[in-house]
Structure 1
Amino acid sequence: MPVWLNRQRALLDFALSSLGRRLGKTLGLAVVYTLIVAVLASVMLFSHAIRREAAQVLAGTPELLVQRLVAGRHDMIPAERLDAIRAVRGVKSAEGRLWGYLFDPAAAANYTLMVPADRVVEAGSAVVGSGVADVRGVAVGDLMSFRAHDGNLVQFRIKDVIDNDSALVSADLFLVSETDFRRLFGVPADRFTDIVVAVRNPREVRTVAEKIDAALPDTRIILRDEILRTYESVFDWREGILLVLLVGAILAFAIFAWDKASGLSAEEKREIGILKAVGWETSDVIRLKAMEGTVVSLGAFLAGYLLAYLHVFHWGAALFAPVLKGWAVMYPEFQLTPFVDELQVATLFFFTVFPYTLATVVPIWRAATVDPDQVMR
């Protein structure tokens, strides 16, 4: 074993010295290689992290949502439907929700107005998300005014600003009291936007949904799992668009890498001929050149992945975050939790390191099997 290790160490030393003699070519290839790996890894890291963040946030959403449909459109649901839903076997609780969207001409942005169930907001007051506070330049104690459905002006005094820790879902929130919500939109006291339902047994969610659907035919039942799948599809779609846009750069790199790996220069051919002439076996030459390719590709992969990690988790993925977050006036500012998926790393490693390493073997094998005298000529 020590003999074998010493042999591999000697081959590695020789490979590094050989790369050093072609420093310009090696650095040029390594820089391009690193940038391509960094871009691909950034897309994968960011999309996976934001998908995981969304899944954790949505894990706390209601198990069932019940919405009323009129002519195929979402409509306000009567409060009397609460009793009908609570009477369904398996339902733990059912509560009406009030929420909607309000366009703010001053910021050219849509806010999500909502009556919170987990906190009390006094009439005339409001709790806003960090995105709303930034885009309107308001702070605690400031006033914001909107026109109600009847044209009258409704004023809100900012009571609190939600911190950035939950900005992924709270950036555009505008929390108000039930009285102010109904006054602003003209919603009657016996109407709700939708109804949230909690189920006693999580394994019976679909069964309970089918019972509610049978009891209330004019409603639409939305499951938490369906919301999660929708978000997954959205993130997959946006990630796919970004990767398609990068196809040109990836193909250009593939051509560049193949040309650099497969096109042996006269100096490299002469070096192979000398090695064969002094007694090197063909397998040793192939192992040496494969080791050179491995050093370049592995070094570029590690550097590119480290650069991608810093870009996503420390620099906010500034290059393409708007594409994956979505286009909006208020971009949510939040810090992603660093997370690395082993399968993702292995996939990226396989598709970036192995092709280049293998591309170096074929031309080396051809040159190493030719008579040394002919090669040196």
Structure 2
Amino acid sequence: MSAWLHKQRNLLDFTLSSLSRRRGKTLGMMAVYTAIVFVLASVMLFSHAIRREAAVVLAKSPEVLVQRMVAGRHDLIPARHLDAVKGIRGVQSAEGRLWGYLFDPAAAANYTLMVPANPRIEPGKVVIGDGVARVRSADPGDLMSFRAHDGALVQFKVDRAISRDSALVSADLFLVAEEDFRRLFGIAPGLFTDLAISVRNPREVTKIAEKIDAALPDTRIILRDEILRTYESVFDWREGMLLVLLAGSILAFAIFSWEKASGLSAEERREIGILKAVGWETSDVIRLKMLEGLVVSLSAFLVGYLLAYFHVFHLGAGLFEPVLKGWAMLYPKYKLTPFVDELQVATLFFFTVFPYTIATVVPIWRAAIVDPDTVMR
């Protein structure tokens, strides 16, 4: 066993010395290799992390949402629909929600107005998200004014700003009292934007949705799982769009790596001939060259993946953030929770390390089976 380990150590030492003799070619290949792994790993890490954040956020959302539809469009839902939903067996709780969008000409951005159920906000005051506070340079005690539906001026006093820790879901929030919300948009009492339903038994969500649909035929039922699948589709589309844009670079790298791995220089052929002449077996030569390819590809993979991890979770993925996160005036400023998917790492490893390593076998085998004297001449 010790003899085998000694042989492998010597083989690795010879491999490293062989790579150092071709330092320029080796470093150039590793630089291109590392850049490709960095780009692919950054996209995969960011998209997977933001999917996970969305899943965590949606886990606390209502199981069922009920919206009234009029002429195929979302309309306000009356309180009698809320009473009908509460009477359905299996519904744990149901409440009417008030939310909408308000355009702020001063910031050229849309705010998400909501009336929180808890804690209640005093009329005339507002709690703002971190993004709103940033674009308006608003501090607690400042005044913000907006035009209501009838043109009258409605003034709000900033009570506080929501912590940046929850910026992923609260960056554009504008939380007001119910009276102020109805005053802004002219919504009469007894009307809501939609209904949020909580179900006693999570396994009966689909059945409860069917009961609501039968009792209220003029409504649209939205399940939490459907919202999560929609987010998954959006992130998949954006990730795929970015990878398609990078497909040219990936293809160029594939051609470059294949040419470098499969094309042996005269110096490398002469080296193989000398090794065969001094007693090396063909299997030893193939093992040596495969080890060279493995050292290059594995080093590039590790460096590229570590750089991608630092880029995504410590620098905020600045290179790809606008594409993967979306386009908006109020970008949420937050740090993603570091998360690594083992299957994702294995997939990336398989498609970046193995092809280059395997591509070295055929040309080396062809050179190794030729007579050493012919190769050296």
Q: TM-score, normalised by structure 2?
A: 0.99
Residue matched to 1:318: 318
Give the whole-Å Cα distance in 1 for the aligned partners of 2:83 and 2:324.
Answer: 42
2:184 aligns to what?
184
- Residue in structure 2 matched with residue 92 of structure 1 by the alignment: 92
| Corresponding residue of 1:43 | 43
| Alpha-carbon distance, 1:21 to partner | 0.2
Q: Specify the alignment match of 2:71 in structure 1.
A: 71
The 2-side partners of 1:167 and 1:313 are apart by: 16
**Partner Cα separation in structure 2 for residue 75 and residue 312 of structure 1:** 40
Structure 2 gaps of 5+ residues are none
What is the root-mean-square deviation in Å for CA atoms of aligned residues? 0.6
Q: Which residue of 2 aligns with 1:362?
A: 362
The corresponding residue for 2:227 is 227
The worse-fitting range, judged by mean Cα deviation, of 301-310 and 80-89 is 80-89
In 1, the alpha carbon distance for the partners of 2:137 and 2:255 equals 50
What's the CA shift for 1:260?
A: 1.1
Amino acid at match of 1:368: A
- Please give the alpha-carbon distance, in whole angstroms, between the structure 1 residues aligned to 2:10 and 2:118: 67
Structure 2 Cα separation of the partners of residues 118 and 273 of structure 1: 79
SS in 1 for 2:214: helix
- Residues of 2 paired with 1:82 and 1:53: CA distance? 31
Counterpart-to-counterpart distance in 2, 1:24 and 1:197? 65
CA distance in 1, matches of 2:34, 2:187: 57
Name the structure 2 match of 1:151: 151
Q: Distance in 2 between matches of 1:56 and 1:143?
A: 34
Matched, 1:213 2:213: yes
* 2: CA distance, partners of 1:88 / 1:352: 55
Matched, 1:197 2:203: no
Divergent runs of 4+, >6 A: none
Distance, in Å, in 1 between the alignment partners of 2:353 and 2:100 is 50
Which whole-Å CA distance do the structure 2 matches of 1:172 and 1:237 have between them? 24
Residue 339 of structure 2 corresponds to residue 339 of structure 1: yes
Q: 1:140, CA displacement in angstroms?
A: 1.0
What does residue 244 of structure 1 align with? 244
**Partners in 2 of 1:54 and 1:211 — Cα distance?**
28
Q: Partner residue of 2:135?
A: 135
Q: What SS does the corresponding residue of 1:145 show, helix, strand or coil?
A: strand
1:285 paired residue number = 285
Residue range with higher mean Cα deviation, 68-77 or 86-95: 86-95
2:116 matched to which residue of 1?
116
Once the two structures are superposed, residues 181-224 of structure 1 have per-residue CA deviations (whole angstroms, 9 ceiling, x without a partner) of: 00000000010000111111111011011001000000001111
Aligned length: 377
What SS does the aligned partner of 1:80 have? helix
- Using the alignment, how far apart are the partners of 2:280 and 2:256 within structure 1? 30
- Cα deviation digits, residues 23-51 of structure 1 (max 9, x gap): 00000000110010011000000000000
Q: Note the C-alpha offset of 1:244.
A: 0.5
Q: What is the aligned partner in structure 1 of residue 352 from structure 2?
A: 352
Q: TM-score, normalised by structure 1?
A: 0.99
The residue matched to 2:56 in structure 1 has which SS? helix
Q: How far apart, in 1, do the equivalents of 2:313 and 2:240 lie?
A: 21
